[in-house]
Each structure stands twice: as C-alpha cells, then as structure tokens.
Amino acid sequence: MCCRCSFITDEQIEEAFVYLANRILSRKQVLERKPNVEPFQYNSEFNKLGQRIKELEANGEYFSRELPFLIFERAKAFYNKAQINDWEYNTEKMKHAFTGLEPLQEFDRELFLKVIKQITIHANRRLSFEFINGLILDSTY
C-alpha cells in the first residue's frame, strides 16, 4: 500500500502570498469585499437572566446574594454572543499596508504579518488566505 503525502514548504506559501498580494495591488477594489456576516442570534439565556434581575429589583431585593451572580452570568451570556464588526478598521489597515507598493518580486514578511490572519491548507493543493478584514482569497501550490 502506498501513501501519497503532499507536503507544503514555506517557499510555496510565500509564493502563493506574493501572487495574491500582487492580485490585490492590481485590483485594490478587492479589499472592499465585505465578508458574509452571520445575523444576530436571539440570546434566550441573556433575556431570562435579565428578567430575573428585573424581578429581584421590582421586589426591592437589592441586597439579595443572587443579584450579583445573575448580573455576572448575564454579562457572560452577552459576551458569548457578542460580535465584533471591525471590517472597516481592518480594511483601512490593509489599504495603508498596500499603499505605495509596487508589484512584489519576492516575499514581504512585514506585509504578510500585517495583513494575514490565517491560512488554511486544503488537501487538493489549494491554500485559503484569510486577511485581517475577513477577505478570503485562494491560491494553489
């Protein structure tokens, strides 16, 4: 039985990044693509905790031992469902990073570290580069 393993080198990742960076430099409007954002989900736990807090307050139970616990749990429930929308901020950071650059002839480590959030390596010799603003561009190696 033969195992066909496909390894990727740093150089292949760097070449794919140079290709995508040059694609962005030739068509900067690519940076304006907004990622799909999941709609806000109803948070029933947050609402239940809020209702219980209102009940305690309505009954004048401001010194109840339960109240600080409920307030903390409600904050935790809110935080767990919170969504940060920093697309505009990170898109501006990317525009600034690409401003004044000529097409890349070689890998630019500083640019890479400024604009790449993560890379996904797929089994079919495809790479997905996720930029800091949520833009995902694919390349092959």
What residue segments make up the domains of the chain, in order of their start? 10-34+84-140, 44-81
How many other C-beta atoms are found inside a 10 Å radius of the C-beta of residue 94? 21
Average pLDDT value over all residues in the chain: 91
Burial class (CB in 10 A: 0-12, 13-18, 19+), 141: middle
| Res 129 pLDDT > 90 | yes
Integer Cα distance of 95 and 111 in angstroms? 11
Residue 36: what pLDDT?
74
* Cβ contacts of 66 within 8 Å, gap of 6 or more: 52, 56
Among the residue ranges 4-18, 26-40, 122-136, the one predicted with the least confidence is 26-40
| Res 2 pLDDT > 50 | no
Average pLDDT, integer, range 16-35:
94
Integer Cα distance of 13 and 134 in angstroms? 19
Residues recorded for the chain: 141
Residue-wise pLDDT tens digits, 71-87: 999 999 998 887 778 99
Residue 108: what pLDDT?
98
Residue 43: what pLDDT?
87
Integer Cα distance of 8 and 114 in angstroms? 22
| Res 105 pLDDT > 50 | yes
Residue 4: what pLDDT?
53
- Cα–Cα separations (whole angstroms), residue 57 to 50, 54, 60, 63, 70: 11, 5, 5, 9, 12
Residue 1: what pLDDT?
41
